[in-house]
Amino acid sequence: MFNEERRFEQPIRWGMVGGGRGSQIGYSHRNAAQRDGLFKLVAGAFDLDPARCQEFGINIGLEEQRCYPNYQAMFEAEAQREDGIQAVSIATPNSTHYEICKAALKAGLHVVCEKPITFTSAEAEELKTLAAEKQRVIGVMYGYTGFPMIHQAREMVARGDLGDIRVVNMQFAHGFHNEAYEEKEPGLKWRVSPEVSGPTYVIGDIGTHAFYLCEMITGMQVSRLSCMRQSFIPSRAPLEDNAHVMMEFEGGAVGTLWASAVNAGSMHQQKIRVVGSKASIEWWDEHPNQLRYEIQGEAPRILDRGMGYLYQDNEGVAASHIGGGHAEGYFESWANLYHRFALVFNATERNDHATVDNVWIPGIDAGINGVRLCEKCVESADNHSAWVNF
């Protein structure tokens, strides 16, 4: 079980770009990274407004001189310090991820980046090459992959509990933007602005989360897909607020994906169902401590986090902060992920290849695949939903 005690001799010195005052996502990163004592926030370029950045940084405990006006200044100044940052997290608008990631890698930093890491897969591949040259690691913040029951699902597939995988249904379909709220709340506008958000809205913003759960749990690769996307609020065009995808995987399995911001009345409704030749599993992010397990011919079972009947020898399954029965949530999933990032960043610096190979993280390939999903969905959808190879 994880707690604040698990640590290296020294926590990883860590900085942030973006995520300042009022940012939920910024708070999520800071809470998660520092939860198990493995990262320590020492620098930040939290805000485009230098004064606000400084005020914020000091408020949360940073030294004044390590609150920087921009990421360039931070990377440069920290590189001069003996105790400079070793890793950085990026929680800025999508359009800036690529350049900041590149600069961070060039500065020799490990990176945790929000998805999408870039707008094009070519850029993402470039980051991958650069990271390899620099021997640095990019983690992508697929924040739902830290839940123990997702790791249980992955282990069950790996052990063959489900038999051959036949069908995967994915969805992340909320209703919070069923009207043009962005016209009243300009803060929401960026999500539907291609120059900031990228070539998609819901596919990239939420569809990639469910898609990555599939990739992580099953390891299957898409071979081709067809995508319909719509802007039910017309002013959002060309970006979609609803999309459906059918896909074929290498090896014969098939899948569907529904991403939506107009699923009226729904909260998250991020769900994944994996159907195998022997059994199926189903998971829902609003009740993340449970995993439904249905063996054909037997009574469906509700598996619960923290119980002895799970594959507790899988580190991801065991990665709880509290015993079963108590509800864990979103913050614990994020903390579990950052815990893993810390292990991998630290091991990379020590040339501990065994750890790097064995500790699973959502890395640059996960990032690339998400960008490719967006590209391919747009390619299909903008061509009358024609089937395209992945």
- The residues in 320-379 that bind a second copy, with binding defined as CB under 8 A, are 321-332
Estimate the crossing angle of helix 208-218 against helix 148-158, to 10 degrees. Answer: 40
Residue of the chain from 14, 15, 18, 28 that contacts a second copy (CB under 8 A): 28
Q: In sequence order, what are the beta bridge partners of 44?
A: 16, 67
For a second copy, which residue of 8, 10, 31, 81 counts as binding (CB under 8 A)? 31
Cis peptide before 199 (omega within 30 of 0): no
| Touching a second copy, residues 285-324 (CB under 8 A) | 285-289, 293-304, 307-309, 321-324
Site for a second copy contains 238 (CB under 8 A):
no
From residue 155, alpha-carbon distances to 8, 150, 166, 262, 317 in Å are 27, 9, 17, 34, 9
Q: Are strands 87-91 and 110-113 parallel, antiparallel or unpaired?
A: parallel
User: Between residue 251 and residue 290, which ones bind a second copy under the rule CB under 8 A?
Assistant: 252, 254, 256, 258, 260, 262-268, 275-280, 285-289
Q: Which residue, 70 or 266, is less far from a second copy as judged by CB?
A: 266
Rounded Cα gap, residues 272 and 291, in angstroms:
10
Whole-number minimum distance, CB 74 to a second copy, in Å? 20
Judged by DSSP in three states, 224 sits in: strand
Question: Can you say whether the dihedral through the CA atoms of 125, 130, 131, 132 is positive or negative?
Answer: positive
Contact 109, 139 (CB under 8 A): no
Nearest distance, CB of residue 46 and a second copy, angstroms: 11
Q: Which CB, 60 or 77, lies closer to a second copy?
A: 60
Closest distance of CB 213 from a second copy, Å: 15
Output the smallest distance, CB 163 to a second copy, in A: 8
Pick 92 or 226: Cβ nearer a second copy? 226
Decide whether 326 or 353 has the Cβ nearer to a second copy: 326
Structure tokens at 173: 């379909």
13 binds a second copy (CB under 8 A): no
User: CB-wise, 219 or 252, nearer to a second copy?
Assistant: 252
Report in angstroms how near the CB of residue 178 gets to a second copy at its nearest: 5
70 is a site residue for a second copy (CB under 8 A) = no
Identified binder of a second copy from the candidate list 89, 121, 178, 197, rule CB under 8 A: 178
Shortest CB 248 distance to a second copy, Å: 7
Give residues 129-168 in contact with a second copy (rule: CB under 8 A). Answer: 162-163, 166-167
Applying CB under 8 A, the site for a second copy has a residue count of 89
At closest approach, how far in Å is the CB of 64 from a second copy?
16
Point out which residues pair with 284 in neighbouring strands.
271
User: Smallest distance, Å, CB 121 to a second copy?
Assistant: 24
> Is residue 352 exposed (0-12), middle (13-18) or buried (19+ Cβ within 10 Å)?
middle
Q: Which residues contact 36 (CB under 8 A, 6 or more apart)?
A: 2, 3, 4, 6, 7, 335, 338, 339, 342
Residue 250 as a binder of a second copy (CB under 8 A): the answer is no
Nearest distance, CB of residue 132 and a second copy, angstroms? 34
Q: What x-and-dash track marks residues 191-230 binding a second copy by CB under 8 A?
A: -----------------------------------x-x-x
Closest residue by Cα to residue 346 from 22, 8, 66: 8
HEC string of 253-300 equals CEEEEEEECCCCCCCCCEEEEEEECCEEEEEECCCCCEEEEEECCCCC
Instruction: Report CA dihedral (370, 375, 378, 379) to the nearest 10 degrees.
Output: -140
Largest Cα–Cα distance in the chain? Answer: 65
